[in-house]
Amino acid sequence: MTKRTLAAVTAILLAMTATRALGSDIRVDNGRDIIRAGDPASKLARYLGSPVYAEYGRVCVKPAHSRCSKSRSGRGRIYQYRYDDLYYTIEVYDGTITRIEWSR
């Protein structure tokens, strides 16, 4: 493998690890509790406080680990939190967390 090819492969692998990961859980309260898809949205305020950013948008209507098709999505809230040096984007529909993804 040439140095240029090795550098390109390394850059791609680093970019893949820095992008979002779906289906994440958030371990909170010193590991005593976990926030995951399917939990009530009230857990967000209890453990993470106020979001850095919030908006209305298309979200999954049922807990999911990947993006939802239009037929499986509805209008809900999208929150962004910073916790443990990661950014979490959390979708909420009808008071239930439906999807969590993180990025660096």
* Bigger pLDDT: 55 vs 1: 55
- pLDDT number for residue 71: 86
Radius of gyration of the chain (CA): 16
Rounded to 5°, the CA angle 47-72-60 comes to 15
54 pLDDT higher than 60? yes
18 pLDDT higher than 50? no
CB count within 10 Å of CB 49 equals 10
- pLDDT number for residue 67: 81
Helix (H, G, I), strand (E, B) or coil at 6: helix
In sequence order, what E strands does the chain have? 21-22, 26-28, 33-35, 53-60, 73-83, 86-93, 96-103
Q: Spell out the residues 6+ positions from residue 70 whose beta carbon is closer than 8 angstroms to its own.
A: 58
Average model confidence (pLDDT) across the chain: 85
Instruction: Give the residues across from 27 on adjacent strands.
Output: 34
19 pLDDT higher than 50? no
13 pLDDT higher than 70? no
Query: Would the pTM of this model clear 0.75, i.e. be above it?
Result: yes
Helices (H), 3-80: 3-18, 42-48
Which residue ranges make up each domain of the chain?
21-103
15 pLDDT higher than 50? no
